Each structure stands twice: as structure tokens, then as C-alpha cells.
Structure 1
Amino acid sequence: MYAAILNQKLVLAINEAEQVSKGLKKLNQESYLCPSCRHRMILILSEEKKPFFKHFYQVKGTGEKEEHLQAKQLLCTALKANGLRADIEVPLLDQQLRADVLVENRLSFEVQCAPLSGAEFAHRHALYKKLQIKDIWIVGERHYLKNKINRSQKIFLRYSTQWQWYYLEINPFSCVITLKYNILMAALSSELSYEIKTFSLDERGVASLFTFIPSTRKNKISYIQDQKIYLQKQINQKSKLGLKIASLLYQLHYSVADIPDELFLKLREPKEKSPIIIFLQKKLADLKAS
């Protein structure tokens, strides 16, 4: 790993190594932390490799290294078979960044099997943007999308006019890429609705993925009663969402029954605010303006 957290800031291994070589710092006297798991990391200096961070202890038995390596190799092979120039583990920006699978120096597939913090993701995404390379994230089993989405999964969402909000998953052991597209969230909860298309992890499958256009888009709705039960539960449990909506209802002298049913039906985009919160905030703004 080429970045770590030091004093709540992201630092690069290459910069830390330079300070060590200049005598400005002593090797591994700083408390480096992993951006993903917050466990201790150490700075490794080598004549054969560029400086990098590694965990002070090694967690064994996860299978992530094997999954990651095989996924990169199979994906790269499939891309090459389609006549594209592709390579794995390509160092960029003087070793600040390492592309998992770099295609034509314009596109990078990042195969993410291990945990990844929002800070580390943002850092890597910004470096790709600086290089004018489009980064496409494709996740391993740890991050597979099921019936709900969490904060750590949202960073891997991408948008296109054809697929709307979509999510890419890879299984190198079954040789399959799964596209989950037209992803929408329930009105209040993190429950998801999406469509699925699978592609073989080979020459034909990758070619089909690049050219896939959904024939139709299904119209979907939330279930009113499920969302009302969810809302009442959040209010009773005094969750962050529950407290926010309860406060808006209190200021408006409303109850849950005063929220129009059609708002509970409405699905939203994954990064969009709840239509119920938008409705209540607008009502409150109108009330204060009157």
C-alpha cells in the first residue's frame, strides 16, 4: 500500500521515505495506520522496490490475495484478447499509484477485494483524475451488493446513461462478471432494487459487457407499509434518521400520517436524499417564509 494515515492525514510512502533518507525522520518511529482497518502499518524500504506500507502483522486465511491476483490476470487476458493494450500492476505518478489493470493508458480497472476507506478511495480517484485516466471499480466477494447498500459500498457506484446507477462485481473462481444496474433505493431505507446481467470473464464476455444496452427498464415502487414501519422504527429507536424526521414533524405539527402516501412509494437514486425529507424540509421552509 502506498498511502497510510498519520496524525489523521493521508501520507504517501514515497514522501515518508524521502524524509527518512534526508534524516528528517527515523524509520518507523511514526504511528502509521491503515486507511481501511486502522491497524498499525510500517514503512518498508527496499533496493528492489519503491517504498510502501505494510501491516505490522499479517491476517491469514482471507483468500483475498488469491482472489485479487486471479481476477486481475483473467480480466487483463480478456481485454488483450479483444485487441486492447492492457497490463497489470502498472506504476503511475512516480509510484504514487499502481493501476490493477491499465488499458490503453486511458482506462484503469481497479479490482477491490480488501476493505477500502473513503479517504483512500478519494485519494486514488483524484490521482487518476489528475492523469486523465478513467477509473472503473470492480469488486470482489467482500463487497458484493445484496438487498441493502452500506456506506463503504456506495463509493464503488458508477453512473452511465445506458445503465443508470450500476455496480460491477467479479468472481475469478467462477469466471463471471456481474453487472447490477438501474440501481434504486427505497424512499427511506437502504433497501435496493436493481437488475442483474452476468458476463463470462473471457474475451466474449468482456466484449458483451462493453456493448450491453438494456432492452427495457422496469418501473418499480417501494412498499408503503414497509417504509412506514421502517420510519416508525427509526423514530422509536432515535436513530440519526429518526431524530431528523421527528424534528421536522414536530416543527410542522405533523404526524407520520400527514406524509403523503405517494412519497413512500417513490424510489430514489442511491446518493439522493429521501423524498420524505425533501418534502418535510420544503414544507418547513414555506412555513417560515409565510
Structure 2
Amino acid sequence: MYAAILNQKLVLAVNEAEQVNRGIKKLNQDYYLCPSCRHRMILILSEDKTPFFKHFYQVKGTGEKEEHSQAKILLCTALKANGIQAEVEVSLLDQQLRADVLVENKLSFEVQCAPLSEEEFNHRHQLYKQINIKDIWIVGKRHYLKKKINQSQEIFLRYSPKWQWYYLEIDPFKCLIRLKYNILKAAISSEIQYDVKTFPLDEEGVAELFLFTPVKKIFKVSDIKDQKKYLQKQLVQKSKIGLKIGSLLYQLHYSIDDIPKELFLQLRKPKDASPILTFLQKKLDD
């Protein structure tokens, strides 16, 4: 749609886009309305098409397909408004790979709203490595981080010197990007701690995200009682980690009480082995 209502007047997408490009106004800071249904619309900038308006879906329960589609468009539009060359749905490697949002042929933002196996993730990640394009994954509602992290979420983690281990989430219906950074995991369980910074999914928000440098924070340590209780549960249930630690305890003639208390307090990087497992293995090797 090439026209919308703004302040009770009809405006053209091409004219609004020109004002954004000239810096007269910020992208989608105005509240555009559909001339037909009077629902909110957003302005979409495109390199290969005339600027246009699109309905902005705010209804909860909207499906993953619409979540994925709208997230890509909003992210690409915000990048373009910052003068960055970006395209949506770009085929690469003779159509073996399709980038959700390709940035200057150097970076791909992959917006993941649907389920994704580790095998498929690794396949796509390796294809990007082949063509020297860095893939950054931004996840939808299904994959949002809470108090624990599971294996299906760990594949989306990325590392940078200033953010440490971080995780990006997108909410196109609220027009937000969330950065969860300084992610650390408890000594033995999958419980995590992290900081959160939220950015508007628009021109200014994306620029702020790229420039964001956090203040260093001291995290609280794990709770000994909870970690010991969790370890005991894993031993009883004979989980994967429980079997590993149980075997080491048996070979060393140790009990849980023989494990140094400070190890239960220790936080670790998300993909690091438990300090307890590392300690017991070292004891056995020595």
C-alpha cells in the first residue's frame, strides 16, 4: 500500500521515505493508519521497490510465519534507515542457503522463530563459513531465554569481547530487540544469570545496539544448597551428567561431601563443562 493516514491527512509512502532519508524525521516514529481499516501501519524502505506501507500486527497469538516475516522486514528497514546496505531473503550458494537479512555481503541476520535442530543449525552455519559470511542469530518468542538454558537454545549463543556470551531476541509485535549478555551458567545445573538491554526495533534502536558497551557487573554466585540438591537428583535419575559424575565419584571413592564447596559456588561460561566434573576428572587423571 502506497498511502496512509497521518494526523488525519493522507500521506504517500514515497514522500515519507524521502523525509526519512533526508533526516527530517525518524523511521516509523509517526503513527500511520490504514485508510481502509484504520489499523496501524509501518513504512517499509526497499532498494528494489518503491517505498510502501505495511500493516503492523500487534495481536497476541499471531503465528510464527507472520512473526518471522515481520521481524525480517522491520530489521532490514531499520538497517537501511541507518545507511546500511541490507536485503531480505537473499539466495546464496546456488540456492543452498537463503539469508533472512543479508548485510553488505558480509553479515547475515538469521531470524529463527520455528523449531530448529542442532544438525540443521550446524549445516547452515558451515555453509556461511564457506562463503565468509558471519551469521548472527536472532530468535523469536519460541526460543526466548528465561531462568534456564537448554541445548536447543545454546546453538544461538554468540560471543563478543564487550558483550561476552550473548543472545539476541526479537519481538516484531512490540517492535523490540532484546540483548541478553554476560550470560553465565551455574556450577552444575542449567540455571543462568545475565543482564538485559532492550532496544526499539527502529533506526535509532539498531544504531544504539551496535554501539552499546555495557558496564561490568559482578554476578552473585551459585547457591550451594540448590546445586548440591540438583547434583543429587542427577545421580538418582542417572542423567547424562549424573552418570559421568557418579562414575568419577565411584572411582575416586568420593561422596558429594568430598567435593570442595567453592566449586558449587562457581559460575561458568555457558558452553564450559561443570567445574565439578573438571575437578573430579583431574583428580582421577592425577
Do both proteins adopt the same fold according to a TM-score greater than 0.5, normalized to the shorter chain? Answer: yes
Q: Report what 2:162 is aligned to.
A: 162
- Corresponding residue of 1:203: 203
Residue number in structure 1 paired with 2:262: 262
Residue 223 of structure 1 corresponds to which residue in structure 2? 223
Residue 220 of structure 1 and its aligned partner are, at CA, apart by 2.7
1:148 corresponds to which residue? 148
Deviation, structure 1 residue 205:
0.3
Distance (Å, rounded) in 2 between the aligned partners of 1:149 and 1:120: 19
4+ long deviations beyond 3 Å: none
Partner residue of 2:63?
63
1:103 CA drift (Å)? 0.7
Equivalent position of 1:116 in the other structure: 116
What residue in structure 2 maps to residue 86 of structure 1? 86
Q: State TM-score, norm by structure 2.
A: 0.78
Distance 1:127 1:67 in 2: 25
Q: Deviations over 1:22-72 (max 9, x none)?
A: xxxxxxxxxxxxxxxxxxxxxxxxxxxxxxxxxxxxxxx870110000000
> How far apart are 1:267 and its partner, in Å?
0.5
AA partner of residue 110 (structure 2)? E
The answer for the alignment partner of 1:191 in structure 2 is: 191
Structure 2 residue matching 1:87: 3-state secondary structure: strand
In the TM superposition, 1:1-290 aligns within 5 A as: 63-286=63-286
Residue ranges of structure 2 left out of the alignment (5+ in a row): 1-60
* CA 188–133 in structure 1, closer or farther in 2 if over 3 Å, else same: same
Q: SS of the counterpart of 1:149?
A: coil
RMSD: 1.0
Letter of the aligned partner of 2:210 in structure 1?
Answer: F
- Residue range with higher mean Cα deviation, 237-246 or 139-148: 237-246
Deviations 1:86-138 (Å, cap 9, x if unpaired)? 11001111111110000111111000001111111111111111111111000
Q: Number of residues paired by the alignment? A: 226
User: Matched residues, percent identical?
Assistant: 74
1:232-278 alpha-carbon deviations (Å, 9 max, x no partner): 11111222211211111111111100000000000011110000000
> Which amino acid counterpart does residue 227 of structure 1 have in structure 2?
Q
Supply the AA of the counterpart residue of 2:282. Answer: K
Tell me the secondary structure at the aligned position of residue 272 of structure 1: coil
Gaps of 5+ in 1: 1-60
Q: Describe the SS at the equivalent of 2:216.
A: coil
Quote the offset at 1:217 in angstroms. 2.2
Q: CA deviation at 1:219?
A: 3.0
Normalised TM-score (structure 1) = 0.77
Partner of 2:4: none
